[in-house]
């Protein structure tokens, strides 16, 4: 879409338009950085959840192996049963939390936001350049 920069009649108008366009571009850059940050945070949470699940699974397997032993004292058996029960609860909680029910809408909208930024950034950059050319072509 070609913009009619001839609507800007004076150098101060050009400077004001350029200033506003640069603010829009800065807001866009901020939005882009925020999207990147949210992506990084989501990856970190997924990694942390996966690590907790792995640790709970390992704890449960180890406790079950200990419980299979016949030489455990009653106190050791109770301790291993508690570890196994706690690990099972963590595993069950992780399984229940894995289906958030959003159907990927949040991820899709983040992709829309990223695509919007990718489309708008070149447009704003070109518009700023066109305004600068108009500014430079006007009498002082």
| pTM of structure | 0.62
> 133: domain range?
5-137
The whole-angstrom distance between residue 110's C-alpha and the CA centroid of its chain comes to 8
pLDDT tens, per residue, the chain with 140 residues: 678 999 999 999 999 999 999 999 999 999 999 988 988 888 888 888 888 889 999 999 999 999 999 999 999 999 999 999 999 998 888 777 665 555 588 888 888 999 999 999 999 999 999 999 999 999 98
What CATH number corresponds to the domain at position 71?
1.10.287
Number of domains in the chain: 1
Q: Which of 52, 54, 84 is nearest to 66 (CA)?
A: 84
Distance CA 115, CA 121 (A): 10
């Amino acid at each position: 879409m070609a913009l009619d920069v001839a609507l800007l009649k004076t150098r101060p108008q050009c400077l004001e338009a350029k200033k506003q366009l640069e603010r829009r571009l800065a807001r866009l850059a901020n939005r882009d950085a925020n999207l990147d940050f949210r992506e990084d945070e989501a990856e970190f949470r997924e990694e942390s959840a996966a690590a907790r699940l792995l640790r709970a699974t390992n704890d449960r397997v180890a406790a079950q192996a200990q419980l299979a032993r016949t030489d455990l004292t009653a106190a050791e058996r109770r301790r291993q049963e508690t570890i196994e029960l706690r690990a099972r609860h963590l595993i069950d909680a992780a399984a229940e939390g894995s289906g958030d029910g959003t159907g990927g809408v949040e991820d899709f909208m983040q992709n829309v936001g990223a695509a919007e930024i990718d489309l708008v950034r070149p447009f704003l950059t070109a518009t700023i350049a066109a305004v600068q050319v108009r500014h430079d072509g006007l009498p002082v």
